[in-house]
Amino acid sequence: MQKEPVFLTHSELQQVLTRVSPPGIEHAAARICRLLANQPKTTSHQFKQVCSVGNISDQVSKRINPRIVDLGLFVACHKPPQLVLNKLSQRTGHHMLWSFYRAANDADGGSQ
């Protein structure tokens, strides 16, 4: 069963931001989390435009996921079912969609 991307509540986002960034300072990891909290299925191109972040996978694997795993959340990417097109309806190299997901727990009988 495929996991569904999730929107984060304001409270959940605040918990995540506290973990990934020092208080009062928004580094790349915090900008990524803020965008994904309200806009699941974000492309790398959108990250570059909105967050000024280039290497998303590095931020996710080193600065986000290890710090939020105990909150039952993680960030992951997947290939979209159809091509991602630019504003000129041309195929782009931005072929991964990033989102927050809830980790399955053993009580649900699920797996990550």
Q: Residue 79 sits in which domain range? A: 10-104
- Structural domain tally of the chain? 1
Stretch 61-73: mean pLDDT: 96
Examine residue 36 and state whether it is found in any structural domain, yes or no.
yes
Six-digit token pair at 72?
Answer: 């039952």
97 sits in which H/E element = strand 97-102
Asked whether residue 75 is domain-assigned, the answer is yes
pLDDT band at residue 108 using 50, 70 and 90 as cut-offs: very low
The count of other CB atoms within 10 Å of the CB of residue 38 is: 11
Calpha distance 64→45 (Å, rounded): 19
Beta bridge partners of 54: none
Q: When comparing pLDDT for 95 and 44, which is higher?
A: 44
| pLDDT at site 82 | 67
Asked if the structure places residue 48 within a domain, the reply is yes
Q: How many CA atoms lie within 13 A of 51 on its CB side?
A: 23
- 5 found inside a domain: no
112 in any annotated domain: no
